[in-house]
Amino acid sequence: MVDLVTVEVIKGGLIYTAEEMGIALRNSSYSHNIKERMDHSCAIFDSDKRLIAQAEHIPVHLGSMGLAVKQGLSVFEGELQRGDMILFNDPYISGTHLPDITLIAPVFYRDEVIAYVANKAHHSDVGGKVPGSLAGDATELFQEGIIIPPVKFVKKGVFDREILEIIKFNVRVPDIRVGDLRAQAAANNVGINRILGLVEKYGLKNFKESTQKIMDYSERRMRNEIRKMPEGVYTAEDYLESTGVEEKIVKIKVRITINGSEINFDYTGTDPQVRGPLNAPLGVTMSGVYYTLMAVTDPTIPVNDGCYRPVELYVPRGCLMNPVKPAPVAGGNVETSQRNVDVLLKAFSKVIPGKVCAGSQGTMNNICVGGIDEENRPWAFYETLAGGMGGRPGLDGLDGVHVHMTNTMNTPIEALEKSYPLRFISYRLRDNSGGPGKWRGGCGVERSWKLISPSATLSILAERTKIPPWGLNGGEPGAKGEFYIVKRSGERVKLKSKCTVTIEKGDTFVARTPGGGGYGNPFERNPEKVLRDFLNGLVSKESARKHYGVVVRGNELDKEETMKLRQVKVLNP
């Protein structure tokens, strides 16, 4: 039997390998979205296609990858050879949306597949009706870009030229796609080599036994955590504000049942799938459940298949969280996924109140813009914007940060201005946007730029412009998001949270992202903290008075007035 120490060494070695794959992918890629924003994820699976290690990348990718590997490889049973890699992006197989292209490689030791390495990278354009491939008004999957079923894209180490040509002919900036695909293959090669190194060092038998033990270990720790939760049934619901096609709210409902060391998530009661692109394939729903579970238990448990063994999931087929093909899904991955976490956290706030934050920005604020520049070259650019994190028991929410299901970086403005016809006007925190609370919600951001080339197409896919992020335990909601264009004439045109519009040369696009909800009664917030926020320009004098009962005179606290104001509130709530 393999000893404890070898297991530990192999566990560390596998996690490290996944991280190394990520570095190779980033450093050799071509698109800003991967090289600057790191919108990609890497993971390792055992020969039964169960997750054994992952790198800390993007939760929505990671949680869905297990499903992707199982489904994507099913047609190649027994057909894989050394040096082959399988490529696909069909969300009904890969679990997320079309821009996320998955590449999986078997790891052969002698003649046996002993593991799989996989990575998922968000390509900034995969064709479809708008540059960036995130059309807020799509009504069918076919409008969202090229659909690639699982295909043997790399055969014995060589790219399949014909498949590559088909992809190149269907996307807007083909050369960059090729560079990024090459980087994805490089990442898998790094993974294969490292795993073979481990097997050679410790022997195949020890390697296999270790991977089982690694999963059992995580399972044990997760069960311990669940056992600590009070048994019972807990429900919560939250809403999407529109579907991109219909102006109606859409409900997500979850019922969590805790029973010993088992936990069940039931989405019965969630609205049916919608016409617009907000449907969340099952992979997205699963990744939200997995993320939330890790976040509210113990984030130091090594993430692998074992963590998820105590989890049972039921999502009715045909509902928003488990749609039927060919429903459009571009926004499920980026928007519905965030609302899913909001719903789950709301439910958990009833189970383990001290371990949950208030509602965070609840969106990724996807912005795609592209067109033809002055030298007649096509360009397409995609980014997501940070916002406020919800207030937490004992801590303010973080200002201007990506929350929950994503953690991509921003692209440096100096890099963007060099590559695209954009001139940035502002990038700053939004004042008065953090939800008031004893622990304030984080502030959203403002990011704006002016178009300096002929007209371009701008698509927005976002949320929380109508229903703000919720406060918790007496905290107030955060500010809603807003998007608008300031025309050359000075006219201000408000944009919907999901839209595709034409933007003209000289127009300025402004995005203002939501703040996080507050936690706890704002009248109990330490007045010194309110003063500091005021001095830093994040909370106005009026808001300090109205929301926090804190009176500021000049740059000083008026302690007496503050005390009076706060007492009145206690007397007349």
Partner 1 sequence: MSFRVGIDVGGTFTDLVALNSETGEIINIKVPTVTKKISRGVANALNEFLGFKRVRRITLLIHATTIATNAILGQLGLELPKAGFITTKGFRDVIEIGRQNRPELYNLFVQKPRPLIPRRYRFEVSERIGAKGEVIEPLKKSELDQVILKIKREGISTVAIGLLNSYINPKHEVDIEREIRRRVNGVFVSASYKVSPEYREYERFSSTVVNAVLMPIVSVYMEELIGEVKEIAGEISFYVMQSNGGMASALSICERPISMIESGPAAGVVASAYYGELLGLKNILSFDMGGTTAKAGIVIENRPMLTHEYEVGGRVHKGRIVKGSGYPVRFPFIDLAECSAGGGTIAWIDEGGALRVGPVSAGADPGPACYGKGGENPTVTDANLVIGRLNPNYLLGGKMKIHRELAERALKEKICAETGLSMEKAAMGIIKIANSEMAKILRIVSVERGYDPRIFNMIAFGGAGPMHACPLAEELGISRIIVPLNPGLFSALGLLTSNLSHSFSRAIMEKAHEIDVERVEEVFEGMESKGKEILVREGVQEGEIIYLREMDVRYVGQSYELTVTVPKPLTQGTLELVKEMFHEKHRSVYGYSVRGEDVEFVNARLTAIGKLGKPKLMEKEAKKPGGINVSPETIRPVFFEEADGYIDCPVYLREKLPNGFMVSGPAILEQYDTTTVVYPKWDAEIDKYGNVILKFRGNGF
CB of 428 or CB of 492, closer to partner 1: 428
Task: With H, G, I as helix, E, B as strand and everything else as coil, classify residue 265.
Answer: strand
Please report how close the Cβ of residue 224 comes to partner 1 at its closest, in angstroms.
6
Q: From CA 550, how far away is CA 563, in angstroms rounded?
A: 8
Please report how close the Cβ of residue 567 comes to partner 1 at its closest, in angstroms.
30
CB of 201 or CB of 205, closer to partner 1: 201
Please report how close the Cβ of residue 137 comes to partner 1 at its closest, in angstroms.
27
Q: Please report, to the nearest 10 degrees, the dihedral formed by the alpha carbons of residues 285, 287, 290, 294 taken in order.
A: -130
CB of 265 or CB of 439, closer to partner 1: 439
CB of 92 or CB of 202, closer to partner 1: 202
Please report how close the Cβ of residue 92 comes to partner 1 at its closest, in angstroms.
26
Q: Please report, to the nearest 10 degrees, the dihedral formed by the alpha carbons of residues 116, 158, 168, 59 taken in order.
A: 20
Please report how close the Cβ of residue 543 comes to partner 1 at its closest, in angstroms.
16
CB of 31 or CB of 497, closer to partner 1: 31
Tokens coding 114: 């002993």
Please report how close the Cβ of residue 248 comes to partner 1 at its closest, in angstroms.
31
Q: From CA 193, how far away is CA 207, in angstroms rounded?
A: 15
In terms of Cα–Cα distance, which of 349, 396, 398 is closest to 513? 398
Tokens coding 358: 């208030």
CB of 234 or CB of 424, closer to partner 1: 424
Tell me the residue length of the chain: 573
| Phi, psi (rounded to 5 degrees) for 366 | -75, 125
- For the chain, the maximum distance between any two Cα atoms, rounded to a whole number of angstroms, is 80
The rounded radius of gyration (Å) of the Cα atoms in the chain is: 24
Q: Which residues of 432-443 are buried (b: 16+ CB within 10 A; e: fewer)?
A: bbbbbbbbbbbb
Please report how close the Cβ of residue 37 comes to partner 1 at its closest, in angstroms.
9
Q: Which residues of 236-263 are buried (b: 16+ CB within 10 A; e: fewer)?
A: bbbbbbbbbbeeeebebbbbbebeebeb
CB of 107 or CB of 176, closer to partner 1: 176
Extended strands (E) in 385-524 = 422-429, 445-451, 456-461, 482-486, 492-495, 498-503, 508-512
Please report how close the Cβ of residue 158 comes to partner 1 at its closest, in angstroms.
12
Q: From CA 420, how far away is CA 383, in angstroms rounded?
A: 13
Please report how close the Cβ of residue 180 comes to partner 1 at its closest, in angstroms.
10
Eight-class DSSP state of 374: T
Measured CA distances, 477 to 360, 366, 406, 416, 497 (Å) = 9, 22, 22, 33, 19
CB of 278 or CB of 422, closer to partner 1: 422
CB of 273 or CB of 438, closer to partner 1: 438
CB of 355 or CB of 496, closer to partner 1: 355
Please report how close the Cβ of residue 505 comes to partner 1 at its closest, in angstroms.
15
Residue 572 exposure: Cα atoms within 13 Å on the Cβ side: 4
- Kindly report the number of other CB atoms within 10 A of residue 568's CB atom: 12
Please report how close the Cβ of residue 237 comes to partner 1 at its closest, in angstroms.
21
Extended strands (E) in 496-571 = 498-503, 508-512, 552-553, 556-557
Q: How many helices (H) and strands (E) does the chain have?
A: 14, 22
Residue type, 453: S
CB of 301 or CB of 369, closer to partner 1: 301
CB of 27 or CB of 268, closer to partner 1: 27
Please report how close the Cβ of residue 157 comes to partner 1 at its closest, in angstroms.
11
In terms of Cα–Cα distance, which of 467, 456, 434 is closest to 544? 434
Extended strands (E) in 260-322 = 262-266, 311-314
CB of 78 or CB of 299, closer to partner 1: 299
Please report how close the Cβ of residue 428 comes to partner 1 at its closest, in angstroms.
4
- Per the CB < 8 A criterion, the answer to whether 98 and 147 are in contact is yes
